[in-house]
A and B are shown apart, each in its own frame.
Chain A
Amino acid sequence: MATVEDLERIAALTGLRIARSDLERLLPFLNALYADLERLGALPIAGLGPAFTPKRWEESRAR
């Protein structure tokens, strides 16, 4: 679980000025998202590259 202090460090590293009260409001949403994204690692994606467009539809129909 991330903490407000973690977010403050990230903000400082990336040059983002944001009030602590705003970080406190964002924290539960980010922790929920981080947990969801962590679980995605359990899916069979190790051999896959990222998909940014559906171009493969066109390619598969051309074959």
Chain B
Amino acid sequence: MTDLVYRSVAELSGEIRTGALSPVTLLETVLARVERCRGLNAFITVTADAARAQARDAEREIARGQYRGPLHGIPVSLKDLIDTRGVRCTCGSRILADRVPSADAAVVERLRDAGAVLLGKNALHEFAFGITTNNPHFGPTRNPWGVDRIPGGSSGGSGAAVAAGLGPVSLGTDTGGSIRIPAALCGVVGLKPTFGRVSRHGVFPLSWTLDHVGPLTRTVEDAALVLQAIAGPDPRDPSTLGQSVPDFRAGLRTSVAGARVGVLADEYHQEMADDVRSQFRAALEVLSGLGFRLEDVRFPRPAETRAAAQAVILAEASSVHEGWVRERPGDYGPDTLDLLRQGLFLTATQYLRAQKVRALLLGEADGLLRPYAALVAPTTPVVASAIGQKMVALAGREVEVRGAMTRLVRLINFVGLPAISVPCGFGADGLPVGLQFIGRALDEATLLAVAHAYEQATPWHTRRPPDPPEHL
């Protein structure tokens, strides 16, 4: 059973296609694992009965020779701010605790079309506005690698679920690192595509100009397979791009040996815990050994980028929530309410100044990336902190956990570039460390090829967390 729940989509789909593995058997095995790991609190809602019906349908279709592709019959879970027809979508909040959407989000439509079996809705930080997934309404989600530790966030339930074998795929969202942070802290893969590559229609917004939807998986190949299914233009989301979608899985076989990779230096190097630094250096040696040409580069204006990104997320999130913040402040958790209220004290000119800075940075970031197949940096400068911990030591000073965790990822949302976090070893207390690759706009194919080359040269994606205690 343990072996089956840790197989990749690529492995499972091969067996499902030939009939060697029944989607019903796979689903029942995963559901048993979900039940065994309830203490992790990775799910808000498990849709077992609906999933069983979908798995039976998949089995019948495949038996009739109507195989749809690599996600057919694969259990997939969704961060609980992605709309699901007839299944409540809480956004991790009290305010929307009983909301039942009447339609699927665009990405859910695409997953259904691909034949995926929708397993349930993953826990998240309240309204996706935070990185701990210590949710005041649904309880804290626990990191499978250390159950007293946060899984990261805001897609923390997604990270914990994939790491613990509760399905090989979850879809998350990333506004300031919320796919890559839980991927790093839980030791799995998290892909934030280029802004506009994946429709956000039917996904509850945090920040319209920063939100991205993407997969958390256990391998880079699986991330490519899921991106293939969910990418593409959607007239209901005007931010989506009209670009054709390449064959991402085929792109993994493209040779990237000898390509130039920029190593983010400067602030990226200066503020990093010792255990993360040592794993990062080891990762650079692996990349060098693979034939990549490593060169130190500097991200343009990181301090200014962080400030502008903070202004944009605060202002846009406060606009989304303005009515509820005024009328129902007591229904928010304190950390979310504080952030939303801060945004109400920003002026329109401050917001637009931040968006003008973004115009400047878009050009500079594109210029920086142009000669490189990818940039590389740690995903987070520290490993998972304890549940409830507010401050963390970084470069000899105490900083807020939220600020530390978003420090190396938020910049990338602001310029809309694709980025992926892959496991790169273990730090203090045996907790995972993540390695972040950042790609050129709309060139996820090369980004995935670089990340895949690194992954295949290391054992980290094969490591499994211990089973959680029976009674958490």
Q: Is the CB of A49 within 8 A of B326?
A: no
Which residues does chain A contribute within 8 Å of B18, judged by CB atoms?
A: none
> What residues of chain B lie closer than 8 Å to A44, measured between beta carbons?
360
Interface residues of A in 23-63 (CB under 8 A from B): 25-26, 29-30, 33-34, 36-37, 39-41, 43-45, 48-58, 61
Is B404 in the interface zone, CB < 8 Å from A? Answer: no
Q: How far is the CA of A10 from the CA of B346 in the complex (A)?
A: 10
Do A43 and B357 have beta carbons less than 8 Å apart?
yes
Instruction: Determine the chain A residues whose CB is within 8 A of the CB of B209 once the complex forms.
Output: 52-53
B416: A residues at CB distance < 8 A: 53-54, 57
Would you call B241 and A58 a contact (CB within 8 A)? yes
Would you call A49 and B359 a contact (CB within 8 A)? yes
Asked if B94 lies at the interface with its beta carbon under 8 angstroms from chain A, I say: no
**A26 to B314, alpha carbons, bound, how many Å?**
13
Give the contacting residue for A33; candidates B304, B307, B341; CB below 8 A: B307
Partner of A30 from B243, B307, B345, B354 at Cβ < 8 Å: B345
Q: Is B308 an interface residue (CB 8 A)?
A: yes
**Size class of the B contact interface (CB-based, 8 Å):** 35 or more
Q: Complex formed: what's the CA distance from A16 to B195 in Å?
A: 33
Q: Does B45 contact A (CB under 8 A)?
A: no
Q: Tell me if A40 and B355 are in contact (CB < 8 A).
A: no
**Is B341 within 8 A of A26, CB to CB?**
yes
Tell me if B170 is interfacial: C-beta within 8 Å of chain A: no
Asked whether, in the complex, the Cβ of B441 is within 8 Å of the Cβ of A43, the reply is no
Complex contact B326–A15 (CB within 8 A): yes
B241, B308, B311: the one contacting A55 at CB < 8 Å is B241
B242 and chain A: residue at smallest CB distance: A58
Q: Chain B contact residues: over half helix, strand or loop, or mixed?
A: helix
Q: When the two chains form the complex, which single residue of B242, B344, B360 contacts A16, counting CB atoms closer than 8 Å?
A: B344
Please, how many angstroms separate the alpha-carbon atoms of A31 and B241 in the complex? Answer: 38
Does residue B352 face the partner (Cβ distance < 8 Å to A)? yes
Q: Is B358 an interface residue (CB 8 A)?
A: yes
Alpha-carbon distance between A50 and B342 when the two chains are bound, in angstroms: 22
What is the distance, in angstroms, from B330's C-beta to the closest C-beta of chain A? 12
Verify if B368 is at the interface (C-beta below 8 Å from A): no
How close is A42's CB to chain B, nearest CB, in angstroms? Answer: 9
* Residues A57 and B241 in contact in the complex (CB < 8 Å), given A10-B345, A45-B357: yes
Does chain A have a CB within 8 A of B47? no
Q: 0/1 per residue, B195-235, Cβ < 8 Å to A?
A: 11000000000000100000000000000000000000000
Task: Give complex CA distance A16, B311 in Å.
Answer: 20
Chain B residue contacts of A52, Cβ below 8 A: 209, 355
Given contacts A7-B345, A58-B241, contact A40 B362 (CB under 8 A): no
- Which residues of chain B from 349 to 386 have any CB-CB distance to chain A below 8 Å in the complex? 350, 352-360, 362, 366
**Given A17-B326, A49-B356, 15 new contacts (CB under 8 A):** A10-B345, A18-B329, A26-B341, A30-B342, A33-B307, A33-B342, A33-B346, A34-B350, A49-B359, A53-B239, A54-B196, A54-B415, A54-B441, A58-B243, A61-B243
Task: Pick the 9 closest A-B CB pairs, nearest first.
Answer: A50-B355, A36-B307, A51-B359, A54-B416, A45-B356, A48-B359, A57-B441, A51-B358, A48-B356
